[in-house]
Amino acid sequence: MTPATQMPDTLTTDGADARSGVLQQALAAIAERGYWSRYPESPSPRVYGETAATEGKAAFEAYLGQRFPLEQPGTDGWVSTERNPYGFPLEIAYPHSDVDTLLAAAQAALPQWRQAGPHTRVDVCQRILDRLHEHVFELAYAVQFTTGQAFVMAFQAGGPHALDRGLEAVAYAYREMTRQAERVVWRKPAGRGTTVAVEKRYHIVPRGVALVIGCNTFPTWNAYPGLFASLATGNPVVIKPHPRAVLPLAITVRYARQVLTEAGFDPNLVTLAAQGPDEALASMLATRPEIRIIDYTGSTAYGQWLESHARQARVYTEKAGVNFVVIDSTDDVDGMFRNLAFSLTLYSGQMCTTPQNILIPRDGITTPNGRLSFAEVTDGIVAAVTALTREPARAVELTGAIVNEGVLERLERAATVGEVLLASRSVKHPQFTDATVRTPLIVRLDVADRDIYTAEWFGPISFMVSTDSTEQSLAVMCDTVREHGALTASVYATDPAVLEAAEQVAIDSGVHLSCNLTGGVFVNQSAAFSDFHATGANPAANATLVDAAFVADRFRVVQSRYPVAS
């Protein structure tokens, strides 16, 4: 019996040794969980060169009012659906593809990519990440003017941090694909001094075509883990961007296809599925039999729909949650106020990790200078938020702009559900006069107002909830997270017993916990290679970014056996 011919599973030659070294560093990082980053997060000219920002901005501006330069199968028209939260028009048209043709092209690209093997696929994925990094300012401007993020956040979260998350997924994929030997000779004693021998070969077999459904707020940060986990494990990827944030993922597809072509592979391993107005393209694609993997970030309702209806696919969802802060006591009052104010203000609360409900005992909290009443605690948080947002030029660098009309509607509704401690106000952006900017709204509620604070209020909306005790605060947090889900939780306490109780609640309800953050680390930050984003252990998400489970089910191991002569 002659085995089938396989393509050699070797690294490509251009810069392969350097990329192999980076891969080893990434593998060490996911094991050790300490600080490590491949891509510098500072947009400083000292890091990226004097002309990088100017060239990136020019590349972004060259897209405006034009057809996006992307050739792929099945183009049957052009669509333009984006609205810039900063006001000026984008008017970029993207190719709209016939679904049958696009999926057929993706399927046709799979066999060669599968045969390339884990080492080559991982190397090509690293080349794609590095190519995207070469265009990081172009990506940053695309993220800024489709999501409403301020530039520094758009650069960091949309560029280096997203690329690090992509590399993290590649490292996990490599580790999981190479856990077992590729080939062994199995020998078993058969008695009377004889043995039976069998050559066994273990093949990594991808599930099939993967679908990434992009979100509006963090299009690259949320898409890159799924994109690179699927691609590294051998699956072609169709990217369906949010209609209001197409450009960042269109740029991603453009350069991914460029690298794939240069490496000798079919560029249709990565394609863009841009939807037209009023087209339910995500649902159409998600239920196609060719789609075997889905990565989704967005609303709870649609995430649950995908989990229920896309039965032919392995579905990874990050949905909405209700994030909590429990305040019992602190030894750094001002640090706590500043830290919470920053978390509430950053990107106008349009982060899935932003705290929504701050639970405070109605009789106050303990501090080194005595007890602070409930009102004094809330007044301190209000004053800290006010200080951050008082000056428009400073405020907009934190708040960014509002990307979704639904956020503005929720702001109006939230102002009617309780006592307004800090009203949201409109801010005139010093540079973009038509930008939609709002400061945080803070509303007081009572623990009895469960129907209000257990719902998600996405946007710059937070509730100061008075409770009977810290014990009740922790119980409310536990019950709500179990029922509705959360991505983050935070506690302020000086008593070790309270901290231990809070950690146990976090474990029981399956939510990541941060304790006593008063400095430069914030609850809504998540560091690649160290922090896990979401747990998959409560209703807010069914997966974690990034762990072994996130990649291991994107492929199967198929073995071949051949008798070996004794």
Beta bridge partners of 325: 358, 490
Per-residue model confidence as pLDDT tens digits over 97-109? 999 999 999 999 9
Does one domain contain both 219 and 336?
A: no
CB-CB contact of 480 with 310 (8 Å): no
Please, what is the angle between helix 16-32 and helix 160-177, to 10°?
A: 90
pLDDT of residue 320: 85
Higher pLDDT, 86 or 11: 86
Q: Contact, 396 vs 437, CB < 8 A? A: yes
> What is the SS3 assignment for 150?
coil
Q: Which two tokens mark 270?
A: 């990565």
Rg (CA), the chain: 25
Has residue 416 been placed in a domain?
A: yes
SS3 466: strand
pLDDT average, residue stretch 540-548: 96
What is the tens place of the pLDDT at every residue in 498-532? 999 999 999 999 999 999 999 999 999 999 999 99
Map residue 158 onto helix, strand or coil.
Answer: helix
pLDDT tens-digit map of 211-236: 999 999 999 999 999 999 999 999 99
CB 121 within 8 A of CB 208: no
Do 237 and 384 share a domain, yes or no?
Answer: no
Q: Is the peptide bond before 546 cis (omega within 30 degrees of 0)?
A: yes
Does residue 189 surpass a pLDDT of 80? Answer: yes
The CATH number given to whatever domain includes residue 330 is 3.40.309.10
How open is the CA angle 464-515-465, to the nearest 5 degrees? 10
Sign of the dihedral through C-alpha 454, 483, 525, 221 = negative
Split into its structural domains, the chain has a count of 2
pLDDT of residue 4: 31
280-326: pLDDT as tens digits? 999 999 999 999 999 999 999 999 999 999 999 999 999 989 999 99
> 498 and 556 share a domain?
no
User: Does residue 356 share a domain with residue 315?
Assistant: no
How many helices (H) and strands (E) would you count in the chain?
A: 19, 19
For residues 265 and 390, membership in a common domain is answered with no
Whether 487 and 356 share a structural domain: yes
The CATH number that applies at residue 192 is 3.40.605.10
Same domain, 116 and 96: yes
Q: Rounded to the nearest 5°, which phi and psi values hold at 467?
A: -125, 170
The reply to whether 1 falls in a domain is no
**Tokens 């070294």 appear where?**
21
Report d(CA 218, CA 154) in Å as an integer.
9
Q: Is the pLDDT at 12 greater than 80, yes or no?
A: no
The band of 3, judged by pLDDT with boundaries at 50, 70 and 90, is very low
**If you average pLDDT over every residue of the chain, what do you get?**
95
Residue 134 pLDDT exceeds 60: yes
The pLDDT of 146-158, averaged and rounded, is 97
Domain that holds residue 252: 38-319+544-564
* Residues 128 and 155 both lie in one domain: yes
363 and 380 share a domain? yes
Residue 159, domain member (yes or no): yes
Could you give the CA distance from residue 92 to residue 88 in angstroms, rounded to a whole number?
12
Out of 497, 515, 533, a domain closes at 515
With respect to residue 22, please indicate whether it lies within any of the assigned structural domains. Answer: no
Confirm whether 12 is domain-assigned: no
Is position 520 within any domain?
no
Residues 371 and 306 in one domain: no
Confirm whether 218 is domain-assigned.
yes
Specify the pTM.
0.94
The string of DSSP letters for 187-255 reads: EEEEETTEEEEEEEEEEEEE-SEEEEE--SSSHHHHHHHHHHHHHHTT--EEEE--TTS-HHHHHHHHH
Q: What are the φ and ψ backbone dihedral angles of 340, each rounded to 5 degrees?
A: -65, -40
User: Bridge-partner residues for 514, per DSSP?
Assistant: 490
Is there a single domain that holds both residue 315 and residue 338?
no
Residues 255 and 349 occupy one common structural domain: no
Token digits of residue 25: 């560093």
